[in-house]
Structure formats: structure tokens, C-alpha cells
Structure 1
Amino acid sequence: MGNVWDAEVVVTPLLAKQLIEAQFPQLSPARVAELGKGFDNTVYAVNDQYVFRFPRRSIAVPLLKTENALLPLLAEVLPIPIATPCFFGCREPGRFPWLYHGYHLLPGHPPGNLSYEQRVKSAAHLATFLGVLHSYPVEKALKTGVPFDELDRLDVHKRKPRLLEFLEKIRSLGLYSEVDELLRIVLHITPHDISGKTLLVHGDLHIRNMIVNNEGLIAGIIDWGDVHVGHPAVDLSIVYSFLPPEGRDRFYQIYGEVTPGTKELARFKALYTTAVLLLYAHDMKDLHLQKAAAQSFDLLRS
């Protein structure tokens, strides 16, 4: 059985350059440098000013279409910069089968090794951001093609056995030393009814999809491919994988209190996402991400 991040099509730097120069001659000669490979997209920096995302799997194509329609609207209201498409690439038969897009490069870098103090300083900014996002009119979002949660991201009954498998694999690979404590947390999490609350959510808010500035403060949110109408716990997972307890208290003072069940689901989602990220980092030999995911596990234990 393959990994969920295995690619169907990979755009090489040369092909990316050729596609961009053919469809966007104003960017010629295009200087292309790989920024990374996500589950769904291969990402390149272009001319040190733009970022282009090329789908790696067919499942990512409708997600990009939704981003193209929604993100320009969200950019007008959100208090943190987001990756707003401004170049809309088309398929080229024989070379690349799908659409792709580009946006202005957001200055900064992934969170990585931040201190507790730096993380706490981002709590208010993050709370304000999610408060605005989760208040966005759902009907307006649905008109742009945003789906409901089709992946049952908070289905504890379905996802807990898979998470337990991930954690055992992490133990066997020696990727994290405190797996037993994580297992105890997971085993005590129970299913909750999530039918009563549906909001617009980012859907995949974790350390790879955030940009911080040189002071470690959140400066951008990227990769909106999982945006959907669903339960806020999906996004609130970042509260547990990125913020220490002091930061969580500050976050909820601004965002507003949520139910204990929502907090438990958010922690569960954070554990699941972090486990996947750690295994992905190991498979990709990305030591920087591997260390960052381990730090998220440390926070999740606190």
C-alpha cells in the first residue's frame, strides 16, 4: 500500500520553467528553485518573487480551483497575509495535464525551532485570524465551490485505529522517544457529536502551512487546498501542536471559549496530523520537519 503523499505526476524544475515562460512571458527568463514537495503539490519559487504550485495528484486539481475562487475574497478580510493566487496556469496537452497557479512570495520561513516565548507571542495573532476566518459567511464560501468535510477528519471511531498504527510505526522507527505517553492520550479520547457547528475552516492548519518572520511571529498562512465547511476543531488543532499551555490560555481569551469536547477533538486532530507529518518527514528525509514535528508532539503532551 502506497503513502498518501505519493505523486502521480512530478513537475521538474525544467518543466516548471518551460510552462511558466510559455504561459507567463512577463516572467521570462524564469529563475526556478524548488521550495518543497507537499502531499498534493510540487512548489517552486520563481524569480525570488513568486511561488508556483503544480499538482502532484489529480485529487488536488479541484482543490486548486476552489482556492482560485475563494482566496482573493478571504485576502480582503483576514488579518494575516495568505497565499492569494495571481497567476492562473492552464493544462498543456503532452506536457502537463492539469491547471496550476502562482502567488506573490510571502516573506518568512516555516516555524521550525521556536522558543515557548515566541510561540506565546503569536497566540493573539492566531486567535484573531481564526476568529475572522470562522466568522466568514458560509453561504458566500459555498458559492465559490468550497465543499463540506468529505474526509471525516474528526471521526475518532474511524481514525483512532489508524493513529495508533502511526504511533507504533513511529516507535519502531525510533522517531520519537515518548510514544507511550502519546498512546495514553489517544486511548482516552472518545468520539463527540460534531453535527451542530459548521464554519469555514482552513482544514489543514499545521506547521508546514504557516510562515513566521525573523522574530518567530506568524506572518502568513499558505496551502488552502483543504479549505472546507466543517467543525472548528479541525483548525483549533494548531492551538495544541503550536502553542504551549500559556499560549492556549491567551488564545481562548481572544478567540472565545469552546466546549471541552471541541478541545479534545482539536487535540486528537493535532496528534493525527503531527504523526502523519513525522512519518512523511522521515520518508522524505526532511530532518528539519522531523525535528519540528517532534517539537509539536512535545507540546501536545503538555
Structure 2
Amino acid sequence: MTYLGEGWDSTAVLVGGWVERRPRRPEIGPQLLRETVVMPWLAPLLPLPVPVPEVVSADPVVVRHELVPGEEITALTATQGRQLGEFLRALHAAPVSEAVALGAGPMPLPVERFRAEVRVPGGEELLARLDGLPADTLVHGDLGPEHVLGRDGVLTGVIDFGDLHVGDAAIDLAWALHSTPPEFADALAQAYGVTSELRERALVWHQLGPWHEVLYGNDIGDPETVEVGLAGVLERLKRG
């Protein structure tokens, strides 16, 4: 058994070629079980490998999936940008009604907690921009460099679908358009068909990202995480 690490929601170990995941908090158990229902339906619709978990135990909750090949990518290229653009286009074309029937619904934002716990200049203006954003697309919900795998210059998979939900397509473009090299971002935008309005919404989601880190730091009583999150909030607000 090899310990793979832990995220905000679950821990993972490698057992005989299988990744076993366990929730870090009781409320995450249903989320992991939902993945075992949604991902077998979704995976065949996508052009890159993704985890397809199955239930090992319902009490305590343990799920497992085959190891998705590849490693976290460190040098982003135009080829990879095109691949991710095509992946997101396929994901966002998935039938929403079928996803909802399988348990993938909307994910409300903790706006009142943001307002109470992240008090920064310009914060209210950003929160106001959240009003009226669409929620009509099946999205990954947490797409960043740690969840996109590659090898030998190409993408080999996308992982961590714990935040899969029906929301704004722009949330999946936030990191990809606003925190990657131009050659990657431009190729992704062309492959996906990014409009100027979609790009602007993606910036809103990119700016909001570190707000979640502040709340998480408060939840686990970690002042350092809160401090890092607040620094990220202020840095990204400068791009508004």
C-alpha cells in the first residue's frame, strides 16, 4: 500500500493498482458515493481517461478506481491546451438532465460566509458579479494543475471530480485561461470556442478561487492557510 496524499475532502492510497479514497469528514461520504453513480455514465463521453470509482464499503465509506495514468504537468504546451479544450467541450456538452437524474445537481456558493470571513477592499464588488451567472452546464468544478495529468508532452487524464455539479461553464476555464502560459491558454480557447463574455466570467471565478481557501483554513483552524488564501484573494482582485 502506498500513501498518495490527501485533499481537502478525502485521502487516497494506492493498493495493487487501485486508488482507494476515504472521506476526511462525514459529510463527504455521500459525495464519494455519488461519484460511483455519475462517473461510469460520464466517462465514455469524455476524450481523456477519468476516475470511474466503485464502492468498496458503504459504512465506513471507501471507494476505489483504477489509477489514471500520468503525473501533474509542470510545462504547459499548446498541444495540451488543445487537448484540454476538447475535453472541456465534451464535458460541457454532457446532457444536464441525465446528470441531475444521477445526482449531480447545483452547488450553492457560501456567499454569506465569504462576506463575513473575507473582508477585503473590492470584495463586495466581486461578490456582486456572481449574481445572475448561469448554472446550466455539467462542470468539473475544481479544475487546476493538480487535477490535470500528463506524460511525454500530452495529457493522459483528468482527476478529482468531487466537485462535479451543474453550474457555470466558465468555472472550468478560470485557471486554464487566466493562470497558464499564453500558448496553452490560446490553444485551449480556440479548441473550446471561448467567447469574450465567457472569458470575463472565467476571470470572476478565478478571482473567487482563493476565497474558498480562506474558509477552509477557518474550518480546520489553520491560520497559515487563511493567510495564504487572503494573499491570493488580494493578488487576484488586482486583475479585476
TM exceeds 0.5? yes
Equivalent position of 1:22 in the other structure: none
Q: Does 1:231 align with 2:198?
A: no
Structure 1 counterpart of 2:174, which letter? S
Aligned partners of 1:269 and 1:195: how far apart in 2? 10
Q: Which amino acid aligns with 1:90?
A: S
How far apart, in 2, do the equivalents of 1:265 and 1:123 lie? Answer: 19
The aligned residue for residue 12 of structure 2 is 43
Deviations 1:115-145 (A, max 9, x none): 3xx3333111111001011010011101111
Q: Write the distance in 2 (CA, Å) between the matches of 1:80 and 1:164.
A: 40
Alignment deviations for residues 215-271 of structure 1 (CA, whole Å, 9 cap, x no partner): 3x32211111111111112211132355223332222222113343x4233223224
Q: Provide the residue aligned with 1:191 in structure 2.
A: 129
RMSD of equivalent CA atoms: 3.4
Letter matched to residue 199 of structure 1: T
Note closer, same or farther for the CA distance 1:110–1:162 as it changes in structure 2 (3 Å cut). Answer: farther
Per the alignment, in what secondary structure is the counterpart of residue 122 of structure 1? helix
1:180 corresponding residue in structure 2: none
TM-score of the pair, normalised by structure 1: 0.63
Number of residue pairs matched by the alignment: 226
Give, in whole Å, the separation in 2 of the partners of 1:246 and 1:107: 24
1:212 match:
150
| Change over 3 Å in CA distance of 1:196–1:275 after alignment to 2 | closer
- 1:259-274 correspondence to structure 2 within 5 Å: 259-260=196-197, 262-273=198-209
Contact 1:163-1:272 at 8 Å conserved across structures: no
1:28 is matched with which residue?
Answer: none
- Match for 2:164: what amino acid? V
TM-score in terms of structure 2 length: 0.78
For 2:182, the aligned partner's letter is P
Instruction: Give the unaligned 5+ runs of structure 2.
Output: none
**Is 1:152 aligned to 2:109, yes or no?**
yes
* Greater Rg by CA: 1
> Alignment identity in percent?
28
Question: Which residue of 82, 89, 110 corresponds with 2:56?
Answer: 89
1:58 to 6, 22, 26: 26
Contact kept, 8 Å, 2:5 with 2:13, in 1: the verdict is yes
